[in-house]
Amino acid sequence: MAGTGFDIAASNFTVPPASVARTDTVVSWNFAYVADTPDSPFTPSLVAQVSQCGFTPLFSKSYTLEFINATLWSWADGQPSQDYYRNCALMDLATGRWITENCANAYPPACADLTTAPFTWVVDPASARQYDTIESQGLCKAPLVFAIPRTAQEHASLLGAMRLAGVQRAWISYNRVSPVCWVKGWQRPCPYQFPKDLLFGRLLGANLKQGIFILLVSVVFLIYQARSQWKASRENRRRAEVRKKIKQMEYRSVRKVE
């Protein structure tokens, strides 16, 4: 294996800190990675371990979907479920992944210290409650907060805390509020969708503007068509009057000749 912590001096992977300007953007010793080598190729289990330790695996050759799946650490296979009676997320120790569950069931919450020790997790078996009561009852005591793993390292730390506490399943702060939107906490607004009233107002405003524009275009078109018809009618009347006068003149001329 090669990577951060393995080959700090390797020029093809890292850049010495002294040579990096403040304005530069480089892959350097600040980027935690592990790369495979011909003598030490990746395996799916090794890729999973590398990801859980907070490193990014760098593949030197193409790999199968099995290797790519090994980098995933959040939802279990087939999750999240489309069963909308299961709108809350659980960490499942058996699979090491997230699954959906009915929010009315009681499980202990996953509490994390995100201020001073981001990898400190506490899971108390005695605090098992329904999902919607976790924050209102303050089950996670300060500085702990009801949280969700944000990285593979935090994910692995939570699994370790669950093993230590003897807890098989624990709530994580993830709640489905619409068919396509999950949020932290309980029933909070989806950041990717407009509120219904605002969305309706914007749609109504857009439709009103479009309607006024179409109406103006229609009125202009009708005026143009009416003017064209009036013009054509007037010309037809003039032609008819001219033909009539010509006939009258011809009739008078013929009588005079006789």
Q: Are 90 and 101 spatial neighbours (Cβ–Cβ below 8 Å)?
A: yes
Three-state SS at 38: coil
Tokens of 161: 């805390």
Q: What integer pLDDT is reported at residue 76 of this predicted model?
A: 93
User: CB neighbours (10 Å) of residue 212?
Assistant: 10
Mode of pairing for the β-strands spanning 33-35 and 56-58: parallel
Alpha carbons within 13 angstroms on the beta-carbon side of residue 151 total 15
Q: What integer pLDDT is reported at residue 12 of this predicted model?
A: 46
Among 78, 76, 82, CA closest to 180:
82
Task: Provide φ and ψ at 252, rounded to 5°.
Answer: -65, -40
Q: What integer pLDDT is reported at residue 8 of this predicted model?
A: 43
Q: What integer pLDDT is reported at residue 56 of this predicted model?
A: 83
Q: Is 190 exposed, middle or buried (0-12, 13-18, 19+ CB in 10 A)?
A: middle
Q: Are 121 and 163 spatial neighbours (Cβ–Cβ below 8 Å)?
A: no
pTM score, whole prediction: 0.64
Q: What integer pLDDT is reported at residue 96 of this predicted model?
A: 92
Residues of the chain with pLDDT under 50: 5-9, 11-15, 17, 25-29, 257
